[in-house]
Structure 1
Amino acid sequence: MPTLTTASKGGRPRKSDVEAKSLHIIETASRLFAQQGFAATSVEQVVAACGVGKDTVYRRFPSKLALFEGVVEHARVQTLAHFQTTMASQTGDALTQLRAAARWLLAVNVDPTLIAFKRIAFSEAIVVGQAVASRTDDPIMDRLLSLIGEAQKAGALARGDARFLASQLLNSIAMGPMIEAMLGGTTYASTRAQNAYFDKAWALFLDGAGA
């Protein structure tokens, strides 16, 4: 007897099917938003690219802003999962793990897709800014603060406000390359270029924050 993709003919779709369709919509919208920007992307374009009915999209995302919010939330979840996977493979003391976290931050802050979303957030700040900035929890920053605190206790970093040190770490490691990428530059597109920059930036951070 064949397996149906729904509970019964005319019945409610399985949860896995619904989630798969939602993911397909989000991934398609992510690609279009990243390629075209917010203003140039319409829900109708997403519908056509997905190959699903307009009602299927609007049931899940009642407006273009809701769709973009879904795209940003999906990117946030994927980014956090990638960070957690990266850090789970790290060994060594707190400073070694902090270095690994900082190197990951550089890479993620010049990722082309995430750069595209940040451009949208800045260029369409009135429309999408509040939606993008609405979350207050930040597990990545929490992990940085924890590692900085552990490194301070071990004597590897100077005593002081851990949150201030974390902000300076972000500034020295990621902000410059991120801004350059947002302006269309490709200086840090390759892993080799990122490594060369990171080694200098990390050394500079330790010169200021090291014990």
Structure 2
Amino acid sequence: MTQKGGRPRKADGEAKSIHIIETASRLFAQQGYAATSVEQVVAACGVGKDTVYRRFPSKLALFEGVVEHARIQTQAHFHSTMAAAEKGDVLTQLRAAARWLLAVNLDPTLIAFKRIAFSEALVVGQSVAGNKHDPIMDRLFALIKEAQRTGDLAPGDVSFLAMHLLNCVAVGPMIDAMLGRTTYASTRAQNAYFETAWKLFLNGARRGAS
């Protein structure tokens, strides 16, 4: 549907942009950055070349759009997860955040994008890295600070504890997945790893631990 003068409604334009981004996301994840061309995205989308280039004037701009879309979706999923955990105490909420961190760092599409960021660092690394505000880490910091206030965690540098938690629960499996292994592909395997990693974090962070 169009407005007067044949101009598409804003919603139609946004839907088309999302369609292009989702198609590009699939191709980048399946083929990598170097092997994916804008022309392939155009063909897969079934839209005109000008339609894509008006929104994304280069392949790098298209990949930036893909990464930004993934970032927004990831944040929305995190907020949904945490909303479901808000009735619990602070350690229950922190545990939910930690379990989410493991799952999201094993997401196949995000793993593919991380591979691109590493393998194509000279092309896309600086462009997509950015020092953008991260509400997910802000929430993690706040939960750790609150757990320290309640005495559930020992006093200490909040950012250090947050990085320690991230390393405990997510970094090892993420590297494993980036190397093409499927060690933690199943929910059962993730749960087993997480239980051990979570206990390790708590035993090192609880008040009075030696």
Matching residue of 2:78: 83
CA distance in 2, matches of 1:132, 1:194: 28
2:148 is aligned to 152
- The yes-or-no answer on 1:114 pairing with 2:110 is yes
For 1:71 and 1:36, locate their aligned partners in 2 and report how far apart those are by CA, in whole Å: 14
After TM superposition, give the deviation of residue 15 of structure 1 in Å.
0.1
Is residue 98 of structure 2 the alignment partner of residue 102 of structure 1? Answer: yes
Distance in structure 1 (CA, Å) of the matches to 2:8 and 2:25: 24
Q: Post-superposition shift, 1:210? A: 1.1
2:127 equivalent among 131, 135, 144 = 131
Quote the offset at 1:132 in angstroms.
1.3
Distance 2:129 2:60 in 1: 13
The one-letter amino acid of 1:156's match is D
Alignment partners' CA distance in 2, 1:17 and 1:200: 48
- Displacement of 1:160 in angstroms is 0.4
Report the AA paired with residue 96 of structure 2: A
Aligned partner of 2:162 among 148, 161, 166: 166
The alpha-carbon deviation at position 126 of structure 1 amounts to: 0.6
Deviation of residue 12 (structure 1)? 1.1
Aligned to 1:29: 24
2:181 is aligned to 185
The Cα of 1:136 is off from its aligned counterpart by 2.5
Counterpart Cα distance in 2 of 1:105 and 1:44: 35
What's the offset of the Cα at 1:27?
Answer: 0.3
Secondary structure (helix, strand or coil) at the match of 2:181 reads coil
Q: Alignment partner of 1:89: what SS?
A: helix
Provide the C-alpha distance between the structure 2 equivalents of 1:136 and 1:26, rounded to a whole number of angstroms. Answer: 20
Shift of 1:137: 0.6
Match of residue 42, structure 1, among 13, 37, 40: 37
Count of residues paired in the alignment: 206
Residue in structure 1 matched with residue 6 of structure 2 by the alignment: 11
Cα distance in structure 1, aligned partners of 2:205 and 2:122: 37
Residue 113 of structure 1 aligns with an amino acid whose one-letter code is: T
Any gaps of 5 or more consecutive residues in structure 1?
Answer: none
Matched residue SS, 1:136: coil
Deviations 1:71-114 (A, max 9, x none): 00000000000000000011211111000000000000000000
Unpaired segments of 5 or more residues in structure 2?
none
**Code of the aligned partner of 2:138:** D
Structure 2 residue identity aligned to 1:31: R
TM-score relative to the length of structure 1: 0.96
SS in structure 1 of the partner of residue 183 of structure 2: coil
Q: What is the letter of the counterpart of residue 161 of structure 1?
A: D
